[in-house]
Structure 1
Amino acid sequence: MTTSREWEFAGTRGAVTARIWAGGEPRYVAVLVHGYGEHLGRYDHVADVLVRHGAVVCGPDHMGHGRSAGERVLIEDFEDVVADLHTLVESARGDHPGLPVVMIGHSMGGLIATRYAQLHGGLLTALVLSGPVLGNWHVAEQLLPLDEMPDVPIDTATLSRDPSVGKAYTEDPLVWHGPFKKTTVRALDTAMRRIGEHGSLGALPTLYVHGEDDRLVPPDATRVGIEAVRGEDLTERIYPGARHEVFNETNRDEVLTDVTGFIERQLPK
């Protein structure tokens, strides 16, 4: 397994911890954008596959997540998270001038990556979205009218058909196991609306992957968001029976092969 190293940079709301995985001479930069309540340390196996494919892989723990500063899972405006991501991308481009940049976002990270592509798509060679929070998300719709956020633990069986994934998630001290923050839910809703209003990703090659049995971010709801932003080059894979974390699913090898195959087709020959 490829080992990672950490570093810090000044984010919009405090210090942001980032990771990098590298090996050999890279052909491209892959930027990983993690989801709500988790951290980039859960993506070691994804980074390993990408490094073996020829990438130098990097990404941040978002503000209030993982090892980064800030009140846990509190995000007031996702434009701040996008700005932090841009700082990281610019740093990676400075370290690896001329290399293509591919962004891979999961769940809430898919929302962040989509917004990044809308604002800075000219810097990207390709975009990969995994179960992205786009369109109409039932969790936001249910929580926004409430005065107090319910403290109901996630059913980890919804993450993957592999029970070891849920066990590791439960035991991970860097994963947030408490309730949503109302401010964050409001910011998520605002970001989804902003993305839908902004519209198409244009000519940016985009791979959209989703588990057919994703109950946390149902594909039917995401479909609205995908149709709002889809550009001229969209590839789509819906995996039968798969749940929310397709990179951690029982068919993860198939999913990651689809991802690297898509990236390969976008790289300069």
Structure 2
Amino acid sequence: MSSSFTESWLASGDGLSFYTRTYAASTPPKAILLFVHGFAEHIGRYDDFLSQWPRRGITVFAFDMRGFGRTALDVAHRSPGSAYGKTNWTLQLADVDWWAQYLLKENPGVPLFLMGLSMGGGLALSFACQKGPSALAHTISKLSGVIAGSPLVLLSHPPWPITLWLGGHLAKILPDVLIPTNVPDTYFSRDPAITAAIATDSLRKPKGSLRGLTDMIEAGKEKLRTSWKNWPKHLPVLFLHGTADEVNFIKGTEEFYKLIDADDKKLVIYPDAYHDLVHEIDGVAEQSTEQFISWVEAHVQH
């Protein structure tokens, strides 16, 4: 195990056991980052990236999402009933809220930032667009900023409308049935080593449940239809996206960015970059990592 983090199995609000990692700063942290990974992924893929934050005085808390990674696949530790792809958007939003509240209680007075990549980025944006007297909206008011890397707003290659319609109806009957996503490994990075690692990763499976996939796609479209209006005006947000992303459509990110009425919003575009920015070539991994960390540093000083 890497010495850069400590790992724990922690229960969420509904009792599900989650695999978690904490990358702790050596001194009292200037900020806390809650990190949310992408669809069919796990936090182990981001060890090099996440281990860089504590060196700058920022502690990172990361978890394998409900239905993914070790939370779903570690037979020795997972909860009874936990299974790959067994998830839905409502529960995922509640999980983000649970871990945000957990971190706020564990680190009183320390600024908390929410960061998501890919589907995790879409989840972070959806989370911030909750409104009303809900517990989620209460948590949003305590965030110091949101980061979305290559977020899921629109897919670059969406399913046919009839496929989505059928999937939505079937999801009501067979929500946990798994179907392949058919996204080529080569879409994620121009680095052959990353492509090879994805192909042999036992914790990464290119499939999802009918309910999970339907929810994910519909939540992305909903952000552009209506929920963008709920973005808190005073909540800072950073978007990063590559122009050659064949997974999540950059135009969706650009449109959402333009729509929200935020006092502090920033969009950084990387020409020719693929989906997985922190594992990209031609300096993109280094540049995007620095952009993420320096943005948080700048907002801690405000």
Normalising by structure 2, what TM-score?
A: 0.81
Residue 218 of structure 2 corresponds to 190
Q: How far apart are the structure 1 equivalents of 2:160 and 2:254? A: 16
Residue 121 of structure 2 corresponds to which residue in structure 1? 110
Does residue 164 of structure 2 align to residue 144 of structure 1? Answer: yes
- Aligned letter for 1:163? P
Change (3 A) 1:136 1:252: closer
What is the match of residue 134 of structure 2?
none
Structure 1 residues 93, 225: CA separation in 2 closer, same or farther (over 3 Å shift)? same
Q: Does the CA-based 8 Å contact 1:60-1:85 persist in structure 2?
A: no
Output the amino acid matched with 1:220.
K
Determine helix, strand or coil for the equivalent of 1:68.
helix
Is the 1:107–1:130 Cα contact (8 Å) retained in structure 2?
Answer: yes
For 1:92, which of 103, 107, 111 is the aligned residue?
103
Q: Structure 1: how far apart are the matches of 2:91 and 2:204?
A: 21
Offset of 1:156 from its aligned partner? 1.5
Q: Normalising by structure 1, what TM-score?
A: 0.90
Residues 64-106 of structure 1: CA distance to partner in whole angstroms, max 9, x if unpaired? 1011143312323x12111111111111122211100111111
Choose 244-253 or 12-21, whichever is displaced more: 12-21
Unaligned runs of 5+ in 2: 73-81, 130-136, 171-177
Cα distance in 1 for partners of 2:155, 2:280 equals 24
Paired with 2:120 and 2:8, the residues of 1 have a C-alpha distance of: 19
- CA distances 1:49-72 after superposition (whole Å, capped 9, x unpaired): 111111110022111101114331
Could you tell me which residue of structure 2 aligns to residue 175 of structure 1?
204
Q: Percent identity?
A: 23
The aligned counterpart of 1:259 is 292
Asked if structure 2 preserves the Cα contact closer than 8 Å seen for 1:108 and 1:132, the reply is yes
RMSD across aligned positions (CA): 2.3
Q: Deviations over 1:230-267 (max 9, x none)?
A: 52211111101110010111121111111112111100
**Match for residue 249 of structure 1?**
280
Distance 1:137 1:214, change over 3 A: closer
Look up the match of 1:164: 193
Does 2:271 correspond to 1:268? no
Any idea what SS the aligned residue of 1:139 has? coil
Runs of 4+ in structure 1 off by over 6 angstroms are none
Displacement after TM superposition at 1:182 (Å): 2.2
Q: 1:152: how far off? A: 5.9
2:184 is the alignment partner of 1:155: yes
Give 1:28 deviation, angstroms.
0.7
Question: Which whole-Å deviations, capped at 9, do the CAs of 1:127-163 have from their partners, x for residues lacking one?
Answer: 1110111156643556414569864643222111111
Following the alignment from structure 1 to structure 2, what is the Cα–Cα distance between the partners of residues 116 and 141? 27
Task: Give the deviation of 1:46 after TM superposition.
Answer: 1.7
Q: Would the aligned equivalents of 2:157 and 2:246 in 1 still touch at CA under 8 Å?
A: no
Residue 255 of structure 2 aligns to which amino acid in structure 1?
V
Structure-2 residue corresponding to 1:123: 142
Structure 1 141/86 Cα, relative in aligned 2: closer, same or farther at 3 Å? farther
The answer for the alignment partner of 1:38 in structure 2 is 41
Quick one: distance in 2 between partners of 1:243 and 1:23? 30
User: Structure 1's 265 and 34: CA in aligned 2 closer, same or farther, altered over 3 A?
Assistant: same
- The Cα shift of 1:5 comes to 1.6
Tell me by how many angstroms 1:110 deviates: 0.7
Corresponding letter in the other structure for 1:31: L
Q: Alignment partner of 1:30: what SS?
A: strand
The match for 1:27 is 30
2:202 match: secondary structure: coil
Unaligned runs of 5+ in 1: none
Contact 1:39 1:61 (C-alpha < 8 Å) held by counterparts: yes
